[in-house]
Structures are given as structure tokens and as C-alpha cells.
Structure 1
Amino acid sequence: MTAVPVPDPGAVREASLDELGRLGLPLPPENFPLVWESGDEVELRPTVEVEARIAVLHLILARCFGMSTEAAMSWLLASRLVDSVTPPEWDFVTAGKGDHRSFVLHHDALFALTWVLGLTRQLDPSLPVDQDLVAKLPNIVGGETFDRWRGRLLVAPQHPADAAALLDLHYCLDWAYLKSEREGLPLPGEIDSHSIGQRRWALEWAVVLRGQYHDPPPGWEEVDLST
């Protein structure tokens, strides 16, 4: 999808803060940075790139829950996705190296990416991952390759401006959830800051902002969640 003008940053932030208030979460300080400026543009990464990231994350999760190295490598080769695997993911797939728990958490990042492609209807911060998500993903165990999976997909990518608005919300949610957990405040639903952070990670990667103050789109492992 081609780049479009960003929505009004002030109006989007006001809507994000209203949502935090509705959820009973603390609000960030008044000087909390905006994600973009008026005059910037926004687009989504190419659909096939998002699909490849979904497939790789799904494979990583399969590896977390018992898929053998040999089976994982066979699927990657058959799907021609080796180049889509990041170095840390490669170490985990081939040798089981890395933080197993951090890879399991990618379940929520994968969920957010399915929302970007219109495969998931909503990304509610008070609800966990949809129970029927697996049915929308490649049947890796059954030998469904990446191309075959793409052939049965009915994607309807979100409008870039809507995805940007959800990114702003998760930027604010990430701050609010972390503050709530530090101070022992109640959370609004069944998920915690780890899930929110993973969803933000996916949105930060998939939503491409262009303008004077934006760097080139980062790689998956280069997404900055420090602010």
C-alpha cells in the first residue's frame, strides 16, 4: 500500500489517552513524545514481508513447543524463508540457543501482525490472543509451505492511518502497563506488559513512518522499545 498522510497527531493522542482512561490506566506525562509530526507520511510494509514475518514467528513458536531442528529447517527450506530468519532466530532454530521464554512471548507479536493484514478483527488490550488464531496460520506440522498458505489467505490489510493510530495507542499502553506493574496497580484485563510490549514491537515494525525525524524502517531485531 502506498504512503498516505499521517492522521492528526494531537487528535490521535487524545483518543489514545481517552482509551487509557476508559481502561482505568495511568496517563503518561504531558511531555510524553508524539509518534509522528504533522506532514509526515505512513505506509505498511509490503504484504508479503508481513506474511513472511508471521510465518517465521509461527515456526519459532513451533520450535519452542517441541518441533525438531530437522523438521524446522526442512520447512524453512521448502518455504524459501531462510533469508527471512534473523540471526537470533537462526541460532534458536538450529541449536536451541537463546531465551526460550522471550521467543514464546512472540505469540502476541504474531497476533498483532495478523491484525495488520486483516486476519484478526481487533487487538483489544484487555483480551488475550484469539483462540482461533492457529487456524489462520501455516499448518507447519502438516507440511503446508509458505506459498501454499499464502494461496489460501484472504488478507485485507489495514489502512495505514488506522494502523498508525493503533501504534500510538500501544506506545501509550506500553508506558501505562509498565507503570501499573511497578506500582502494583490493577490491570484492565487478562494480559500484562509483556504482551502489550510484543504487540507494540510488531506495530513499530509493520507501520512505516516517513518524515524529517524518522529513520529508515528498522529490521525486526532493531525495533527500539526503549521509550
Structure 2
Amino acid sequence: MAVPAPNPRMVREASLEELSRLGLPLPPAHFPLVWEPGDRIELRPTGEIETRVAVLHLILARCFGMPPQAAMSWLLASHLVETVTPPEWQFVTGGKGDHRSFVLHFDALYALAWVLGLTRQLDPTLPVDERLVERMPNILAGETVRHWRSRTLTAPRDPADAAALLDLHYCLDWAYLEVEHAHRTLPGLVDASAIGQRRWALEWAVVLRGPYHDEPPGWEEVDLST
């Protein structure tokens, strides 16, 4: 259910304060807000986010050596074939595509896990918590998504908290790219690519409703150009 979005200017002020704390450059004054006053927000359905988490986890398993036939068998057993995007399907079945870009999805998976309450924090200075794998489906053991859901207690975040983190990553994405282009030192152990992946996941998971928002995009349709 959509709820009123928090004041976008207050959220932006908090995001800029965090950038300043990290010693990052601030975006220009005309940098757009993520939403407008009067907009509403919600998270995608929990089941849809869980499904995307499972697919990304499988993609990463393929990146690290899972045979294509085993990956296909798991997708079929978990009834997830129709949720795999065309680029993901080509990679799962034939290894086609940019292997490095799929490996980077580990950070997108981390952000979605945060949305589901499966990890405590999403610190822009820290890499993915290695214990995250323990909270994912045990694909190598053949654990299906259905069984994973039955043993996993998700507690989706408040939409306002998720939206605030989205705004922060919108600003961080700009700032990290600026720092990398200037060949300056980043504030932690995470690079611009990882921040971009986390933003991608948050842009997809947080649904914005208002006169200036389109229908929620598909996974491959998330726009990170601005």
C-alpha cells in the first residue's frame, strides 16, 4: 500500500549532510529531487523482491562456476524461469554477456537484502557482508525458493526509510563518479560501480507514485543515467 512520501527536501538535506560527513563533493544546486512533495511511495511486493534476490543469487552462482544445466534445473524446480530477464537468460544458458557486470550484481543483491531486512545496514563505505550468502537459498544443495522462504524471516523496511536510502544513493552515485573521475581517494572500501549497483536495486524496489512518475520499471529498465 502506498503511503505519503517524506518531505523530499528534508531527505535531501540529510543526504547532503552524509556526503559532507564522508568528505564527498556535493551535487550542484539544480540536482533533481527523486520525488516531489505530495508523491506517495511503497515497496514492491515482498514476494517479487524475494524472487529477484533468488535470481540474482543464481546469476552469481553461474559467475563462480555453477554449470548451466544445474542452473537451469534449479530455475525449473523453483518455478522462476519466467522471472529471468533476456540478458540473464543468455548468461545462464550460454555464458553470454559481460561476466564482470553480472559479478557486480552482488552489491545489488546486498541492497535488496537490506530492503527485506536480511542485513542490518547498507553502509556506503563497507563492502558486502560476507555472511549474506548464509541468508540466501542454498542453490548448490538444491534448496528451492519455496523452501528458502519457509525458513527465512523477512521484515521489509519502512518505505520511507527505503526512499531516504534511495535518495542518499542517488547523491552518492553522482559523488563517487566525480571522485573517481578526479582520481581522488574514496572514503571507504566501496567503489562507484558498487554504489551504482546498490542504487539500481533501490530504484527498482522503491515504487514512487505521482504525476511525474511512470509505472515501475522492469529490472533491466531502471534508468541510472541521471
Please state how far the C-alpha of 1:30 moved relative to its aligned partner.
0.5
What's 1:66 paired with? 65
State yes or no: 1:41 paired with 2:40: yes
What's 1:211 paired with? 210
Taking the aligned partners of 1:27 and 1:186, their CA distance within structure 2 comes to: 15
Could you say what secondary structure the match of 2:89 adopts? Answer: helix
State yes or no: 1:21 paired with 2:34: no
What whole-Å deviation, never above 9, does each CA across 1:31-73 have from its counterpart, x for those lacking one? 0000000100000000000000000000000001000010000
Alignment of 1:95-114 (within 5 A): 95-114=94-113
Taking the aligned partners of 2:7 and 2:190, their CA distance within structure 1 comes to: 29
**Percent identity of equivalent pairs:** 75
Taking the aligned partners of 1:174 and 1:206, their CA distance within structure 2 comes to: 17
Taking the aligned partners of 1:177 and 1:185, their CA distance within structure 2 comes to: 10
Please state how far the C-alpha of 1:143 moved relative to its aligned partner.
0.7
Q: Which amino acid aligns with 1:161?
A: A
Unaligned runs of 5+ in 2: none
The TM-score, its normalising length taken from structure 2, stands at 1.00
Taking the aligned partners of 1:157 and 1:64, their CA distance within structure 2 comes to: 28
Taking the aligned partners of 2:207 and 2:218, their CA distance within structure 1 comes to: 12
What's 1:84 paired with? 83
Q: Which amino acid aligns with 1:34?
A: L
What whole-Å deviation, never above 9, does each CA across 1:75-115 have from its counterpart, x for those lacking one? 00000000110000000001110000000000000000000
Unaligned runs of 5+ in 1: none
Please state how far the C-alpha of 1:192 moved relative to its aligned partner.
0.2
Q: Which amino acid aligns with 2:191?
A: D
Please state how far the C-alpha of 1:186 moved relative to its aligned partner.
1.4
What's 1:144 paired with? 143
State yes or no: 1:130 paired with 2:129: yes
Please state how far the C-alpha of 1:185 moved relative to its aligned partner.
1.6
The total of aligned residue pairs comes to 226
The TM-score, its normalising length taken from structure 1, stands at 0.99
What's 1:178 paired with? 177
Taking the aligned partners of 2:89 and 2:121, their CA distance within structure 1 comes to: 31
Q: Which amino acid aligns with 1:113?
A: L
Taking the aligned partners of 1:15 and 1:59, their CA distance within structure 2 comes to: 36
Could you say what secondary structure the match of 2:102 adopts? Answer: helix
Q: Which amino acid aligns with 2:120?
A: R
Taking the aligned partners of 2:94 and 2:186, their CA distance within structure 1 comes to: 37
Alignment of 1:154-173 (within 5 A): 154-173=153-172
Taking the aligned partners of 2:16 and 2:207, their CA distance within structure 1 comes to: 22
What whole-Å deviation, never above 9, does each CA across 1:1-35 have from its counterpart, x for those lacking one? x1100000010000000000000000000000000
Please state how far the C-alpha of 1:184 moved relative to its aligned partner.
1.3
**Root mean square deviation, CA, Å:** 0.4
Taking the aligned partners of 1:161 and 1:68, their CA distance within structure 2 comes to: 40
Taking the aligned partners of 1:184 and 1:99, their CA distance within structure 2 comes to: 25
Please state how far the C-alpha of 1:132 moved relative to its aligned partner.
0.4
What's 2:116 paired with? 117
